[in-house]
Amino acid sequence: MDLLLKEEDMANESYEDAIAGLSKLLSEKADLGSVAAAKIKQITAELEAASSKGFDPVERIKTGFAHFRTEKYEKNPDLYGALAKGQSPKFMVFACSDSRVCPSHILNFQPGEAFVIRNIANMVPPYDKTKYSGVGAAIEYAVLHLKVENIVVIGHSCCGGIKGLMSIPDDGSTASDFIENWVKICSAAKSTVKMAESKPGLRKPVFTKVEQLRPGTGGHTLTVKVVSAKMVLQKGRADGPQGRQMKIAECLVGDETGLIIFTARNDQVDLMQEGTTVILRNAKIDMFKGSMRLAVDKWGRVEVTEPADFTVKEDNNLSLIEYELVNVVEE
């Protein structure tokens, strides 16, 4: 009996609502068994057949409003009663007219929460009393009369308006009466994007292996594991005047080719924990008593990264090699 009543109710619903109702029925009546499953299969087939007969726009509007009335309006009389007396939205939202990106669906706005302004490519034109008065009036009303507290601009990918903007020829010619003239509002942004596209991409760093390090060199980027870390200097207190504190640690780091001492300073010290894998960017070689030390100054960076899968070659410590310092006579 319940199943027959459900079937009659679904006749007045949209296809999507009917399918949702069937899913709910299955979850509520887990013990219906094979007879119910067969009946539901039959109903689903009938719904699919009905939906393939053609789209009736008037019927779609009618069923959509009927759903709103029964599922939203009649179930929330207090909300809609209050909204009938006035609105006090917290948000003013600029969104694209694109049918795929409805702000109320994307952000789950309820009636009365957002004052929405939609146009091609979610444009916010510059202030001009004689142009763009439609958008200007909406902004003025929301800010001065509704006192909205938050302004949101929603962009989205695959926007036809932005595609049109980027496709306007350099001579400014247009193929339509309104679209290009509207999206030209963002011509300055288009120029910025075009300039960025024309710039050469950032050069990818070339990673150096420990065994390749040489005295007096710099600009190295390495991925190393921290084998050990020893604090050799600590002055001041973190909670002292202006929070000034000096810390220096000697850290033995390495990769599959060898080891070297890295001199960590201040904030770097906290990153150099034993067993951690770090990337040293723009590192340089300092000489200390004739041996090499690796360091990263203000022009470089120390980054903790994912654990490396290599085994450190601990029998090749470059910091144990002493170099004789000699004066080179220029000819």
Structure confidence by residue, pLDDT tens digits, 72-124: 999 999 999 999 999 999 999 999 999 999 999 999 999 999 999 999 999 99
- The two structure tokens encoding residue 43: 């109903």
Catalytic: which of 67, 98, 281, 286?
98
Stronger pLDDT, 131 or 142, i.e. the higher one? 142
Cα separations (Å) of 90 from 135, 136, 139, 188, 239? 18, 19, 14, 31, 42
Mean pLDDT for all residues in the chain: 86
Provide the pairing of β-strand 91-96 with 114-119: parallel
Is 251 known as a binding-site position? no
Is 159 known as a binding-site position? yes
251 assigned to active site? no
102 assigned to active site? no
Tokens 């759903």 belong to residue:
67
CA 205-210-215 angle, 5° bins: 95
Average pLDDT value for residue range 216-245:
84
Q: What's the CA gap between 154 and 122, in Å, rounded?
A: 7
pLDDT at 45 over 90: no
Is 239 known as a binding-site position? no
Q: What is the pLDDT of residue 42?
A: 75
Domains 86-201 and 210-320 alike in fold: no
Q: 175: which DSSP letter?
A: S
Is 186 known as a binding-site position? no
pLDDT at 262 over 90: yes
Provide the CATH topology of domain 210-320: OB fold (Dihydrolipoamide Acetyltransferase, E2P) (2.40.50)
158 assigned to active site? no
Q: What is the pLDDT of residue 41?
A: 73
- The two structure tokens encoding residue 42: 């039959």
Q: What's the CA gap between 31 and 307, in Å, rounded?
A: 51
Alpha helical stretches, state H, the chain: 2-10, 15-28, 33-51, 57-68, 77-85, 103-106, 133-140, 160-167, 179-183, 187-198, 267-271
Pick the CATH number of 86-201 from 3.40.50.2300, 3.40.50.2000, 3.40.1050.10, 1.10.1060.10: 3.40.1050.10
Provide the pairing of β-strand 114-119 with 301-304: unpaired
Q: What is the pLDDT of residue 195?
A: 85
**How many CB atoms are located within 10 Å of the residue 226 CB?**
21
pLDDT exceeding 90 applies to what percent of the chain? Answer: 63
- The two structure tokens encoding residue 276: 């951690």
- The two structure tokens encoding residue 180: 């290009």
- 176: burial class by Cβ within 10 Å (0-12, 13-18, 19+)? exposed
What tens digit of pLDDT does each residue of 273-325 get? 999 999 999 999 999 988 999 999 999 999 999 999 999 999 999 999 988 76
Q: What's the CA gap between 292 and 52, in Å, rounded?
A: 77
Task: Work out the pLDDT band at 242, boundaries 50, 70, 90.
Answer: low
100 assigned to active site? yes
Domain ranges of the chain: 2-70, 86-201, 210-320
Provide the pairing of β-strand 301-304 with 220-236: unpaired
Catalytic: which of 9, 56, 60, 100?
100
293 assigned to active site? no
Give the length of the chain.
Answer: 331
Residue 210's closest CA among 278, 282, 286, 294?
A: 294
Catalytic: which of 67, 102, 118, 156?
156
Stronger pLDDT, 41 or 180, i.e. the higher one? 180
Average pLDDT value for residue range 221-247:
82
The reported pTM is: 0.49
